Amino acid sequence: MFYSVSPDLMMSHEITEEIAQDLAELSDILAAQGTTLIYLATPTKALGQPQNLPWAAVDLGYDIDIAATVYDENIQRLNHYGVAAPNVRHILARAAMDAPVFFGPDPRLNSHGVRTMVRAAAEMVAGSPGYAALPQTAFRSGLSGKAAMHSDRRLDLQEHCEKDLPGLIFDQVLMRQGAAPQDLFNSVAPIEVAVVSSEMTGGSTLGFAHHLQEATGLSAGHYSLAKGGSLAAMTAYLTSQQFQANRPSFLIWEQPIWKNSGEFGEQPLRELITAAGPSCEIVLPLRFDKGRKVFQADLSGLDPAKHHTLFFDNDGVQVQAARFIFAARNKSVRARTVYRTPDQVLTGRFYMPVSGLWPEGASHVDVQLGGGSFGPAASLTACQQEEAY
């Protein structure tokens, strides 16, 4: 069993008060629209499977008690603000007493670990208000055999080992009764449970959504990015037309505890919060500047004392980035850019908070696009939001 110095031996993966409050606001807004958010904070391998930690970890300064306490406090903080988040560390560590829950030469959960995570999520779903009223279907999963998963980490480690390292052998899961889980961006039928996950749970390969359907009796869909991370995956999903047209009853968001949702400032989480809410209603007419190839909108009508987020919709045309160039009455300029990851499903929809600018607010904004052209009926609206916490 291999453990990496980072993130496994890092003892402080803090979900700050600000991030916890943003996640709580996201949860509240989703709930108001009929969707229950369940947040799965995947622990590090050292926390989820501490039994195999070598003594060298202590020599490097690692203290499992401190790291476990910090994780537990993060979950308590989320629960305090009303976010449904089970303590996955406890659940995985107990399951690891029977069999490993992580692959040996890779940081990801193995089949046993994924099934354990699913049980935690399914218990939260079944215990949620409204679950009993949903029509349930008899789903039954099965195994079609074993297969090996590719691992860059294993290949790197193998270069330093004389003996062959074990492969990443996993159970191939299929549905023996009931329809197979759908892709969230290619679903043809309504989905009751949407699963957005990181690479830690193996994407759709290890059958997270398959097991979830069997455990809950609800149809599920799954979306994951191999490299972009679960925050990028959630951004793609919540900003999509698919989400707006087919909101699930439950949204399960799995994200590693060491991934900082506030790493790039307030924009990413504000984008999720705004996209999860009702439609933005303040229409901001766009004027196209042919010389500069930008759309411009007047913002002087927005009250600077209130919280607004701009929503740019490129009318279905996919683009990689959107740059918002804010200008003040004194001709000061501040620019902010939203980038999408290379493997992310592109929706052509971007949200940008109008905050942290000038006390008197911005007079206008220019919108530039990267990696694509403007749509034929591109639009800009403003969403007014109240501070929840």
Rounded distance between C-alpha atoms, residue 207 and residue 101, angstroms: 15
For 69-94, what is the mean pLDDT? 96
Q: What is the mean pLDDT of residues 193-208?
A: 90
pLDDT at 365: 96
| CA–CA separation, 50 and 52 (whole Å) | 6
Whether the predicted pLDDT of 25 surpasses 60: yes
Q: Do residues 21 and 269 touch, judged by C-beta distance below 8 A?
A: no
Backbone angles phi, psi at 381, to 5 degrees: -130, 165
pLDDT, position 190: 87
Residue 170 confidence (pLDDT): 92
Q: How many whole angstroms separate alpha carbon 180 and alpha carbon 159?
A: 39
Query: 59: burial class by Cβ within 10 Å (0-12, 13-18, 19+)?
Result: exposed
| 254-270 pLDDT per residue, tens | 999 999 888 888 899 99
pLDDT category, 229, cuts 50, 70, 90?
Answer: confident
pLDDT value for 226: 78
pLDDT of residue 137: 93
Q: Residue 13: its pLDDT value, please?
A: 81
Residue 388 pLDDT grade (very low, low, confident, very high; cuts 50, 70, 90)? low
- Work out the pLDDT band at 385, boundaries 50, 70, 90: confident
DSSP one-letter string for 20-38 = HHHHHHHHHHHHHTT-EEE
